[in-house]
Amino acid sequence: MPRVFNFSAGPAMLPTEVLEASAKALLDFQGKGFGIAECSHRGKEFDGVIDEAIARTKSLLGLGDTHDVLFLQGGATALFSQIPQNIANGPIDILVSGEWSQKAAKVAKEAGLKVNVVATSEGTNFDRSPLPGEWKLSPDAAYFHVCSNETVHGHRLTTWPEHANLVVDASSEFMSRPHPVNRAAVVYAGAQKNLGPAGVVLVLVRKDLYPRIPKSVPGLFNLQKLAESKSMINTPPTFGIYILLETFRWLERQGGLAGLEARNAEKANLLYQAIDGSGGWYTGTVAVKEQRSHMNVTFRLPSEELTDRFVKEAALQGMVALKGYRTVGGIRASIYNALPLEGAKALAQFMKDFQKKAG
């Protein structure tokens, strides 16, 4: 059966080459007679996997020795708690630009931290990210947290802010373009968008933050101890990390992050041209066009009835998971790294055909 174009926001589609290589390793790893999911995380086989995964992460990102690379469990949402637990030695600043940054602020407040919302677009239903001129940063903040791409609402920070202690939730755009990771304090991303299966979180931590960590933080949640153990204080998600490694190899074959950025921009432009060229029949949900996400394209149709028809008819043509997030509705087309250019072309053409037929 041919594979469909999967526009799911996550868990999302993975490159076929990555799936094929991972399936082979699952059955027989390097001709050893056992699969990668069957070997001990304390053995030399998996030690080689995680060493290579760390090295390729640094190579793809141009990351220096100032940072450690961690592969953690629990999902990116767990980092909403774990990061302040480790490095919030004072009040924290958070830019609330959508569903996920709002949740990060909520978790920090529930933990008893003093949280300064530097700006929010909640009043306009998160139709944009507040512009830097609107931010009111605290001079004594332990760090400044942002979500660089708001998956639900379809907008992104065109550039990452400059801040002495910048913390970035990059989950839905990580490794889709070059990132200025060397000037960030912490960057974290759930793997299930661009990197691999659900269950792994890739975290970059600047080493000079470690003295902040209270002695009361348990080892399993202590970022320094996790780094010292190469993310293996306990048994890590070994097969998930292996799939990340195959994805890193695939990313390099695509021309690295610069190559992916160009291809992702081409995919996004096809869909935005279909929206903008519809005479208002399709309406984008992002108020600032420059902030339109290259990962999650969000738009609305004239009615809920037409939206339902759009989703169902697209699925019949091999384009699935286009329904918008449950709290906002509409359409959301997630066009992560693994979605081929042909998928974006097919959806753009379907949008034009559907409008002509229904309009």
Residue 58 annotated as catalytic: no
* The token pair that represents 34 in the structure block: 């056992």
For residues 175 and 196, is the Cβ–Cβ distance under 8 A? no
Name the one residue in this structure whose structure tokens are 């300064």.
Answer: 116
Among candidate residues 68, 93, 160, 193, the one labeled active-site is: 193
Q: Are β-strands 144-147 and 166-169 bridged in parallel, bridged antiparallel, or unpaired?
A: parallel
Q: What is the 3-state secondary structure (H, E, C) of 288-330?
A: CHHHECCCEEEEECCCHHHHHHHHHHHHHCCEECCECCCCCCC
What CA–CA distance (Å, rounded) separates 312 from 115?
43
Best CA proximity match to 249, nearest among 67, 20, 6, 68: 20
**Active site annotation includes 100:** yes
Active site residue 308: no
Instruction: Quote the DSSP letter at residue 156.
Output: E
Element (H, E) at 273: helix 256-276
Q: Give the distance from CA 84 to its chain's centroid.
A: 20
Question: Between the CA of residue 97 and those of 5, 103, 147, 178, 291, what are the distances in Å?
Answer: 29, 10, 7, 22, 12
Q: CA end-to-end span of the chain, whole Å?
A: 33
Give the angle subtended at the CA of 141 by the CAs of 148 and 293, to the nearest 5°.
10
Residues 6+ apart with CB under 8 A from 146: 94, 95, 97, 101, 157, 160, 161, 166, 167, 168, 169
**Calpha distance 281→161 (Å, rounded):** 35
Q: Which of 169, 230, 267, 323 is catalytic?
A: 169
Q: Which of 68, 93, 100, 281 is the catalytic position?
A: 100
* Residue 145: both structure tokens together: 């947290």
Indicate the Cα dihedral angle 117, 118, 121, 123, nearest 10°. 60
The catalytic site residues sit at: 100, 169, 193
